[in-house]
A and B are shown apart, each in its own frame.
Chain A
Amino acid sequence: MLRYILWRIAAMVPTLLIISALVFTIIELPPGDYFESYVSEIKAQGEGVDMEQIEALRKEYGFDQPAALRYVYWLGGMLKGDFGYSFEYELPVSAVVGDRLWLTILVSFVTIIFTWLIAFPIGIYSATHQYSWGDYGLSLMGLIGIAIPNFMLALILMYFANIWFGISIGHLMDQKYLAEPMSWAKAKSILEHIWIPVIIVGAAGTAGMIRRLRANLLDELQKQYVVTARAKGLSPMRTLVKYPLRMALNFFISDIGSILPAIISGAEITAIVLSLETTGPMLIKALQSQDMYLAGSFLMFLAFLTVIGVLISDIALAILDPRIRLQGRSTK
């Protein structure tokens, strides 16, 4: 088991290397660099530019070097925890991202928990009461949840919150706490604000999970071992939890790998609509302005989360499913 985990961690290294090369290439693909877009922007505003200063900056950040070398610098920097310099904000990337990263992780984490809490009971109910009115109603709601884009839901909620309650939803906290260090008041403000984005971002994921849990559980409920458990005299509830639900968990665990990046990247447009202080809006702006270190760091962060998620789900699967863990242990 330990050997397997070590092997899997070792396998992450080449994966991340390949991703970093891809990320770097994609960021380099559009013609020009940040300084060119910066210069043309200033020129368009009719102001003069100090070309010498620009050239000096270029040199400082190695933009006169060949691309391969810059890639190596970038990679080396990241390993040391130096994610580069955001030209847009004129700050190191880590300082720019800072709080926003933690807030993003917080929103994502709460969203995942919310998804599970809602999806599990509903999925189980739908599967055990197949073709009942409850099942139909919940399925309809789920389908609506899948069909409506998140940002649309955000707009609708904002509109009605304003019309009905006269409040403006949006942001993750009261604006006065924005630059302040963490305090009880700030935490409370975050808690007050967080549930709206969580519901919006989690809606589609919850609906999807209900559908999948229902389908998986329905398959398992047909299996012979469920009849065996009933023939033992086990009560219906305990039968359900111990056998078919346990089997249906497998899909759910393998989902962890994709759920992290899906929630983080899916939340971006919603975050713009709701003006959340997460990384989403910043990533999109960075990509637009070719602020390459900032954009590159974000993309690497997403890739890292994906790889970690897959690793966690694989290890969890191996722990939970003896067929994966023991297959091949000699028989008898």
Chain B
Amino acid sequence: MTSGADLLRVEGLRITFSVLGGEVQAVNNANFRILPGKVTALVGESGSGKSAISQAVMGILPNVARVGGKILFNDPTTAAKPIDLLSLEREGEEIRGLRGTRISKIFQEPMTSLSPLHTIGNQISEVLKIHTDAEKAERRARTEELLGYVGFANPKRAYDMYPFELSGGMRQRAMIAMALICRPALLIADEPTTALDVTVQAQILKLLRELQVKLNMAMLLITHDLGVVANMADEVVVIYHGQIVEAGPVEAIFRNPQHPYLKGLMAAVPHFDMKPGERLKALREVPVKAGTLLGGSAADRRAGPDVLLSVHNVSKTYGTRKSSWFGGGESTLHRAVDDVSFDIRRGECLGLVGESGCGKTTVSKILMRAVTPDAGSVIFDNGEGPVDVLKAQGDDLQALRSKIQMVFQDPVSSLSPRMTVKNILSEPLEIHGRGTAKSRVETVRSLLQAVGLDQRFINRYPHSFSGGQRQRIGIARALALVPELLICDEPVSALDVSVQAQILNLLKDLQKELGLTCLFISHNLAVVDYMADRIAVMCAGRIVELAPREVLMRNPVHPYTKSLLAAVPYPDLDRQLDFDRLKDSEGSDMRRWGPQFRDDDAGDTLTAADLGGDHFVLARRSVDARELRP
């Protein structure tokens, strides 16, 4: 292929950032191409330099960056010779004339990428104002037309709306409209769906795919998610530590990966076809030596009643003031948790899946006594007699706290930056008055060993650890008091794929060796599928389906579960997302569920219907279990 056929050629690209105390090489001698009308995926983990490349193409690198090499842009609409984007004057008219018209970009965070003080119509039509001679009325008309096309039901009204009045998915649609209004030859999408829920992600991917075909535009899709790559890309470029390690058509990359990093990455992603007992292969495996840690073998800890924690009809309502302080103060009630009941059995891992705002974190906070529910009860029974978690006081509560521990999502903010690892890990022991100062240090050492961290790190501060290492410290802290129930709230969603596999394996091994009981909360179905024995699916504050893992994955009954499963992009070329089906079964829209799953007409309440084999689904009381099967 000649260079004339490539839309964009990156040749020998080097990007260095000057930072305090030297330079960091973000991209080192990168070479790749983007074909016109095709989707090229640039895959890499955080810090690999993929975003720096996209910024270099747009000429929007920060001031501290230094760039070398060439980025040749060959605009198909002009017959001119390819332009070297890097040779253009910084912020000069030439590069500005390309931005937004010929090359445009959408960003990861749709909340912060739009100005909160301007209407989306203003921000979108501004692109036309900069690059075309269109009159005001025409700009508005064209903007509204595109808003309608990207999925706004009422584009005339949407034009005058502010970003904070829109949901994350709608904001991203507005961003897409802004990027595409001048019909660019190249769209750079930098993690366009990472901040979105899985069902919304599927819709946005579908929209991007449709628009890309319709406008015959090339797309540079920057992502860390191999599932998104498999569903979207024609060509794949894999970047690792600033170097392109592999590039080629998507078929070759997925079916025959060559580079060890790519192979490792493929093996590190949890997917739904894993055989029972199959392990993820983390790029760097962490050996677990929990043996002597907690005193008493796993077998001892498995003795006791069958159900460790029992949650009955728990509800929590928050009042939100809908109107601002200009109008009346009528408040609406938001049911964060709505009549939720489930049991966690001794030694199992119960997965809790749901999209953002479904109430799963509120449930975990209720179990930790951080939030008091309006109604319901939570009974904890480890064989020493049942304890009501919500009513425990004084010594009972103190004892209970040591038995239920939590691992948090964000490994950065959940560790105090002013405490050493030793302080962090021995603090729970001090609070509960366990052991002497000397024995506590011994415990800290064995905790570090258990999570596979070097004991020499004991006097370091959290900032000197990577994200995965910090999360291991968080896990060690949760284990310090020898809990019986470990609540993991999105423990891997802030981590890269390769590190994610490492943490998941660690949790799995610890659970097995220590006989821990786990509540594993996540929005990622594949991760929950890998970890959990039984899975509960939450939607709008309610558990809509609860079943053993295989049953839920193979034979989901509730429309929401189905749509959730259908929306997950598989990192597998033979199982592409069915975009057409996504359209007619938008399961996140409650009004489109079958009548047997809805309670909008009065008189009939919803209850967990038993389908047999531990499979429960939320449906109307009057509906026969047989009718629920499709």
Chain A contact residues, CB within 8 Å of chain B: 1, 3-4, 223-225, 227-236, 242-243, 246-247, 318, 320-332
Contact = CB atoms under 8 A, between A and B. Distances in A.
Interface residues of B, number: 40
Interface in B75-134: 91, 96-101, 104-105, 107, 109, 112-119, 126-127, 130-131
B326 A233 contact: no
29 contacts: A225-B112, A225-B115, A228-B107, A229-B115, A230-B58, A232-B99, A232-B100, A232-B126, A233-B97, A233-B98, A233-B127, A233-B131, A234-B126, A235-B91, A235-B96, A236-B91, A243-B118, A247-B115, A247-B116, A247-B117, A323-B116, A324-B324, A325-B324, A325-B326, A326-B162, A327-B164, A327-B324, A332-B166, A332-B170
A243 B190 CA distance: 22
B166 A223 contact: no
B185 interface: no
B98 A331 contact: no
Contacts of A331: 165-167
Contact of A231 (B58, B118, B165, B325): B58
Specify which of A1, A225, A320, A323 lies most central, judged by the most chain B CB atoms within 10 Å of its CB: A225
Given A233-B127, A233-B130, A322 B162 contact: yes
Contacts of A3: 326-327
B512 interface: no
Contact of B113 (A228, A242, A246, A329): A228
Nearest to A328: B324
Contacts of A246: 115, 117
A36 to B, nearest CB: 50
Given A224-B113, A231-B60, A231-B104, 15 more contacts: A1-B326, A225-B113, A225-B115, A228-B114, A228-B175, A230-B99, A233-B97, A234-B100, A235-B91, A235-B96, A247-B116, A322-B116, A322-B119, A325-B324, A332-B170
Nearest to B328: A3
Closest 3 CB pairs of A and B: A233-B99, A233-B100, A232-B100
A234 B115 CA distance: 14
B178 interface: yes
Given A3-B326, A246-B117, A326-B324, A230 B162 contact: no
B184 to A, nearest CB: 11
A327 B109 CA distance: 20
Contacts, number: 99
Contact of B321 (A225, A230, A243, A328): A328
Contact of B109 (A4, A224, A233, A236): A224
Contacts of B60: 227, 230-231
A243 B115 contact: yes
Nearest to A228: B113
B181 to A, nearest CB: 10
A231 B99 contact: yes
A220 to B, nearest CB: 10
A332 B322 CA distance: 13
Nearest to A224: B112
Interface of B: 58, 60, 91, 96-101, 104-105, 107, 109, 112-119, 126-127, 130-131, 162, 164-167, 170, 175, 178, 321-327
Specify which of A1, A232, A327 lies most central, judged by the most chain B CB atoms within 10 Å of its CB: A232
Nearest to B326: A4
B126 A330 contact: no
Contacts of B162: 322-323, 326
Nearest to B157: A332
A4 B91 CA distance: 44
Contacts of B99: 230-233
B89 to A, nearest CB: 12
Contacts of A227: 60, 107, 113
Contact of A323 (B100, B130, B164, B321): B164
Contacts of A4: 325-326
A321 B327 CA distance: 17
Contacts of B167: 331-332
B324 A231 contact: no
A246 B118 CA distance: 10
Contacts of B321: 328
Specify which of B105, B116, B321, B326 lies most central, judged by the most chain A CB atoms within 10 Å of its CB: B326
A236 B63 CA distance: 13
Nearest to B124: A232
Nearest to B119: A322
Specify which of A223, A246, A325, A331 lies most central, judged by the most chain B CB atoms within 10 Å of its CB: A331
Contacts of B126: 232, 234
B107 A233 contact: no
B358 to A, nearest CB: 17
A321 B97 CA distance: 31
Contacts of A329: 165, 324
Specify which of A3, A236, A322 lies most central, judged by the most chain B CB atoms within 10 Å of its CB: A322
Specify which of A228, A236, A246 lies most central, judged by the most chain B CB atoms within 10 Å of its CB: A228
Nearest to B117: A246
B34 to A, nearest CB: 17
A324 B324 CA distance: 8
B127 A225 contact: no
Nearest to A2: B326
Given A233-B131, A323-B162, A328 B322 contact: yes
B619 to A, nearest CB: 28
Nearest to A223: B112
Contact of A234 (B130, B164, B170, B323): B130
Contacts of A234: 96, 100, 126, 130
A231 B326 contact: no
Nearest to A229: B115
A237 to B, nearest CB: 10
A322 B327 contact: no
Nearest to B99: A233
Contacts of B97: 233
Contacts of A330: 322
Nearest to B97: A233
A140 B116 CA distance: 34
Specify which of A229, A235, A321 lies most central, judged by the most chain B CB atoms within 10 Å of its CB: A229
